[in-house]
Amino acid sequence: MVVHPTRSNLARHPRPSARFLLEDGELPRLLPDALEVVRYDEGWLDEGRHEARLVARRPGAASPAA
Q: Identify the segments of the chain with pLDDT beneath 70.
A: 61-66
Nearest C-alpha neighbor of 52 from the set 17, 24, 14, 29: 24
Q: For the chain, what are the domain ranges?
A: 2-57
Nearest C-alpha neighbor of 31 from the set 50, 51, 54: 54
Q: Report pLDDT for 11.
A: 96
**C-alpha to C-alpha distance for 14 and 1, rounded to whole angstroms:** 25
**C-alpha to C-alpha distance for 53 and 40, rounded to whole angstroms:** 6
* pLDDT tens figures, 43-60: 999 999 999 999 999 988
In angstroms, the Cα distances linking 50 to 17, 47, 61 are: 13, 9, 30
